[in-house]
Amino acid sequence: MRYLIFCVWLISSISAAQDKIILTDTSIGDMPIEVGAKISLYKIKQYFPYYKVTQQIASGDSPDYHLYVVSTYENEELIYFISYINEPDEYEKSIVKLDEVIIHTSIIQDQYGVTPNMTISEAIEKRKYLKFGAGHMDNYFGNGKI
């Protein structure tokens, strides 16, 4: 009986983890987001219980930053939450301000139905009036906060 209950729980957990996650101007899945919102490893894990969530200090061409990665247990990266470190004491903080959200997979779609790796023509069909530009490392399109 315990084995059966465990199997039912496991199957429901796997199917829940495969559902689309919707990105809006103010949320990703059930997690409210806005620039400056307080985030932590614990808080992100609460909103994404069926996924692996890790935290590290990362660096690049920008200032160092707190990087929270939401991924599947097969190590497919889904979402990055980034908080830039502007003061020396921010390296040790466990609760930080959200600066940026980066989406990596088509498991996540925005409120219009646009996903990463979608062709531009497909995205324009789903969402009119997109703005295009060139970032530091890539090209982008969007409008508003998305």
Give the per-residue pLDDT at 48. Answer: 96
Q: Tens-digit pLDDT profile for the chain (146 aa)?
A: 666 555 545 554 444 445 789 999 899 999 999 989 999 999 999 999 999 999 999 988 878 999 999 999 999 999 999 999 988 888 899 999 999 999 999 899 988 888 888 887 888 888 877 776 776 666 666 666 66
97: left (phi over 0), alpha (psi -120 to 50) or beta: beta
Strands (E) across 27-95 are located at 27-28, 31-32, 38-39, 52-58, 65-71, 77-84
pTM over the 0.75 mark: yes
Give the per-residue pLDDT at 77. Answer: 95
